[in-house]
Chain A
Amino acid sequence: MAELSDIALVTQVAVFRNKKAFDQLVRKYQSPVRRFFLNQTGGDGQLSDDLAQETFIKAYTNITKFRGVASFSTWLMRIAYNVFYDEIRSRKQTEDIDTTAIKNTKMSGSDTGMNMDIQTALAQLKPDERTCITLQLIDGYPIDQISKITGMNENTVKSHLKRGKDKLAIYLKENGYGR
């Protein structure tokens, strides 16, 4: 079957509750969504998969609310962001995720050492800074899209990005990068 556009797939899911169409959407976006959670949780694979699953289930049950104003990926990442911050709120203490996750690093991929370095570098940042940095530098979203995903205004996103990058520059220099 030829690959359908996101809008066509979303329509299939919204109107006919077509699970095959939703299957295609999950396959297409599972990697960026799980990667987003891995980066927010410091590489906790199990927690990331649980949150990613919750994100897709919420997307499925609320798919009729997707109006197509933003792209499907932005809408999905907005749900992912809300799921993550609900999780933080439910744990009350952000430190739960910040400090325990690094120990449980289960990143897939060939270069685990590099992944560890990235997670350790990201652990230097506050949650909002980390979210903005990863959305821009790893997921490649421009500032206006990050603003839509996080619900922050663009100036706030810019200041999180600046503060985050300043911290990262110091951390990377101290650890021998950029020589």
Chain B
Amino acid sequence: MDDKDKIMIEEFFKQAAKQQIEDNGFTERVLMNLPDREVEEARRLSRLWTLFCLAVGSMLFFLLGGWPVLKDLLQGGFHMLVSAFEVLLVTATTTEIPVNPWALLLTLGFVIVFLPYQIARKLYVIQ
């Protein structure tokens, strides 16, 4: 590219460089949409409070021997679930209760995946 081309391009953009865009209420719209300091502060405090509660809860959980209780609870729940499933398998073939496997899968997916995800999202674990 020679000097003549350079000058041609610079001349072409000269007018665009001088162009000023009128405000026409733009600044007011920006200021109206700025986040409030109080709201920001409240959100920050809310996150800190959640973290604090989580830390205290975890500490108490371990100090007061919460793990064996939780383990028993989970084991009991698991056994109950297995028993219920066994009963369902035995009775479903001998009775006329229609069990749609897709509906069962969807329900399990909702309970095992979707609900924990939503809870975690609400607690800001997943952004």
Partner of B27, one of A30, A57, A172, A173: A30
User: Which of B10-18, B62-70, B100-108 lines the interface with chain A?
Assistant: B10-18
A139 interface residue per 8 A CB criterion = yes
A38: which B residues are within 8 A, CB to CB?
A: 21
Closest residue on chain A to residue B15 by CB atoms:
A114
B9 interface residue per 8 A CB criterion = yes
Partner of B17, one of A17, A27, A137, A168: A137
Interface residue tally of chain A, by bracket?
35 or more
User: B91-111 vs A: 1/0 string, CB under 8 Å?
Assistant: 000000000000000000000
A169: which B residues are within 8 A, CB to CB?
A: 1, 5, 8-9
Min Cβ gap B47→A in Å is 15
**Is there contact, CB below 8 Å, between A139 and B37?**
no
Q: Which residues of A (96-118) have their CB < 8 Å from a CB of B?
A: 108-109, 111, 114-115, 117-118
Q: Which residues of A (15-54) have their CB < 8 Å from a CB of B?
A: 17, 19, 22-23, 26-27, 30-31, 34-35, 38-39, 49, 52-53
Closest residue on chain A to residue B10 by CB atoms:
A137
12 contacts between A and B (CB under 8 A): A22-B34, A23-B31, A26-B31, A30-B30, A35-B16, A53-B29, A57-B33, A57-B35, A115-B16, A117-B12, A137-B17, A138-B13
User: Footprint of B on A, CB under 8 Å?
Assistant: 17, 19, 22-23, 26-27, 30-31, 34-35, 38-39, 49, 52-53, 56-57, 60-61, 108-109, 111, 114-115, 117-118, 121, 137-140, 162, 165-166, 168-169, 172-173, 177-178
